[in-house]
Amino acid sequence: MSCRPSDISLFYILIFLSLTFCTVTLFNPFFFFYSIPGGLGYGSLPDNLKQGQTQKVIYCVHGKPGGCCATIVSGGPVPGGSITIVDEHCHQERGNTVDKHARRKLITASILCLVFMIAECVGGYLSGSLAIATDAAHLLTDFASFMISLFALWVAQRKPSRTMPFGWYRAEVIGALTSVLTIWVVTGVLVYLAAERIIHKQFEIDAFVMLITSGIGVLVNFIMGLTLHQHGPKHNHSHEGVVGVQPAIKPRKNINVRAAFIHVIGDLLQSVGVFIAACIIYYKPDWKIVDPICTFLFSVLVLMTTFAIIKDTLLVLMEGIPKDVDFNEVLNTFMGIDGVVRVHNLRIWALSLDKTALSAHLAISPNVSSSDILKIASRKIHSRFNFFEMTLQIENFQPNMENCDQCKVPPS
């Protein structure tokens, strides 16, 4: 089936108007209503707390006002409308605002990706262009990766159980790893097809359709990139009368949104490259070899941009220490407590990219109180770091610990 260029142009104009309407609707704050004053979250001050005011704070790690395992501490002055609370509990709980925000970004990008993928399928059928159909398959892969990320975010919210004591936090890490590996598979297929075209040189390219498709592709990928771009963390909202805890470490960006953003950046660069190649082929039809050459160049670029995510996901799966946590700084914090003679079995590992766990044995002098040491150690660690889980074992110092290989600090 053939179609005139004017009909194809009209088709893409209609698709562009639909995408514009879709984008305006999705970015409308009344459509994605997620910020409610006095809502259910942590991190901002209640309306009745004035700047510089001191009050007692009830902090419950399970998110219940009044606390089911609460520790009541006195809050200091509130500089600039913020407050930092140090408690003696073994772990801290964060609100799920970041996950909701990540889900919103991924849903928006998924809708845009799905709409344009359908447009490319219809456009490929009308024009009989294999290039458009191939690009639609690439978008299908992106859409599938977004769905994997959304599923991973949903699974990660499941509560811990006796068989899964740390919950499902690493599900989003596995989702991001699967997403990146999918990119590599698709890139390998595209490189293979490009090599075949260079060897056999038996292919035809409709430069006009290529121009229209890549032009709209640049616009759509740019919009999706803006949607998935992660700015600095915004404040959450608190329960009435409950003040949240400000993290001591800067919150990390959601890894699934980051993986999806890398997807879109790769697609955007590829669309720009295809658009430039289409311009060249449109004016110089004999230079159609530019198409597979661009495929090679941008395939290498896409692979390079995904190595960082692979490195981060493997670090989590191998239970490595996060890059922004200094082992020696944590060790020195414990050793700086009066009465602590030795620290051994210090373990710091990433449950996910935004949740870190710690466990340690503190060997103390026989003339100090173990409960006091535990309280001081918990306060110091919570005031300087943002460990999601922490387990401390207090034991009396024994001379044979000096020669114990297991008690020695591991090499760097």
Do both 306 and 332 map to the same domain? no
Average pLDDT for residues 352-359, to the nearest whole number?
Answer: 86
Residue 39 lies in a domain: no
Of the candidate ranges 120-134, 230-244, 386-400, the one whose mean pLDDT is the lowest: 230-244
Percent of the chain with pLDDT over 90: 15
Q: Is 168 a residue whose pLDDT tops 70?
A: yes
Residue 70: band (very low, low, confident or very high) from pLDDT cuts 50, 70, 90: very low
Do both 293 and 153 map to the same domain? yes
8 Å CB contact between 227 and 105: yes
pLDDT per residue as tens digits for the range 171-182: 878 888 887 888
Average pLDDT for residues 69-78, to the nearest whole number?
Answer: 38
Residue 145 lies in a domain: yes
> What is the predicted pLDDT for the residue at 381?
92
Q: Which domain holds residue 348?
A: 327-403
Do both 139 and 276 map to the same domain? yes
Residue 138 lies in a domain: yes
Do both 222 and 285 map to the same domain? yes
Average pLDDT for residues 104-111, to the nearest whole number?
Answer: 84
pLDDT per residue as tens digits for the range 220-239: 878 888 877 765 544 444 34
Average pLDDT for residues 149-164, to the nearest whole number?
Answer: 80
Do both 339 and 212 map to the same domain? no
> What is the predicted pLDDT for the residue at 269?
75
Do both 141 and 281 map to the same domain? yes
> What is the predicted pLDDT for the residue at 339?
92
Residue 158 lies in a domain: yes
Do both 204 and 309 map to the same domain? yes
Q: Is 397 a residue whose pLDDT tops 50?
A: yes
> What is the predicted pLDDT for the residue at 324?
86
Tell me the C-alpha to C-alpha distance, in Å, between residue 111 and each of 108, 220, 223: 5, 11, 12
Q: Mean of the per-residue pLDDT values for the chain?
A: 71
pLDDT per residue as tens digits for the range 246-303: 344 444 566 667 777 877 777 777 777 777 878 888 888 888 888 788 878 877 877 8
Do both 309 and 368 map to the same domain? no
Percent of the chain with pLDDT over 70: 65
Considering its fold, how many domains does the chain have in total?
A: 2
pTM for the whole thing? 0.64
Q: Which of 268, 292, 314 is the last residue of a domain?
A: 314
Do both 123 and 186 map to the same domain? yes
Do both 285 and 343 map to the same domain? no
Residue 371 lies in a domain: yes
Q: What CATH number did the domain enclosing 360 receive? A: 3.30.70.1350
Residue 265 lies in a domain: yes
Residue 359: band (very low, low, confident or very high) from pLDDT cuts 50, 70, 90: very high
Residue 157 lies in a domain: yes
Residue 374: band (very low, low, confident or very high) from pLDDT cuts 50, 70, 90: very high
Average pLDDT for residues 334-356, to the nearest whole number?
Answer: 90
Q: Which of 314, 341, 357 is the last residue of a domain?
A: 314
Do both 270 and 397 map to the same domain? no
> What is the predicted pLDDT for the residue at 13?
60
> What is the predicted pLDDT for the residue at 63?
35
Q: What CATH number did the domain enclosing 262 receive? A: 1.20.1510.10
Residue 119 lies in a domain: yes
Q: Is 59 a residue whose pLDDT tops 80?
A: no
> What is the predicted pLDDT for the residue at 234?
44
Q: Is 83 a residue whose pLDDT tops 70?
A: no
Q: Is 361 a residue whose pLDDT tops 90?
A: yes
Do both 367 and 303 map to the same domain? no
Q: Is 394 a residue whose pLDDT tops 90?
A: yes
